[in-house]
Amino acid sequence: GQSLEQPSEVTAVEGAIVQINCTYQTSGFYGLSWYQQHDGGAPTFLSYNGLDGLEETGRFSSFLSRSDSYGYLLLQELQMKDSASYFCAVRDRVSSASKIIFGSGTRLSIRP
């Protein structure tokens, strides 16, 4: 089966940097996505890593290591609006290439 592990909660200070880790177990693997969800809102796509290494999009970066079955989302220059839940998701090869499996999410709280 598939499983994803990410911390349930992380707290950080405005202006600082925070890293949210995700480890996964799948029988097959295509890549790792990250989504952001504000309270009461819908998930929105942030980034995707299909290959090992770092992908950067503005203040957000995402990293993947296939050999370690591990990835992370890095948020820099934290702003209060970054307070949200962050989900990693794997694109799984075994059952179907048409779907992704979501982790349980990490709730990020930003302190002034």
Question: Is 10 a binder of other proteins (CB under 8 A)?
Answer: no
Burial 83-109 (b: 16+ CB within 10 A, else e): bbbbbbbbbbeeeeeeebbebebbebe
Site mask, other proteins, residues 18-57, x = CB under 8 A?
Answer: ------------xx-x-------xxxxx--x-x-------
Selected binder of other proteins within 14, 102, 109, 111 (CB under 8 A): 102
For residue 73, count CB atoms less than 10 angstroms from its CB and return exposed for 0-12, middle for 13-18, buried for 19 or more: buried
Selected binder of other proteins within 51, 58, 96, 112 (CB under 8 A): 96
Selected binder of other proteins within 12, 105, 108, 110 (CB under 8 A): 105
Report yes or no: 50 and 60 within 8 Å, Cβ to Cβ: no
Report yes or no: 25 and 69 within 8 Å, Cβ to Cβ: yes
Which chain residues interact with other proteins by CB under 8 A? 30-31, 33, 41-45, 48, 50, 87, 89, 91, 96-105
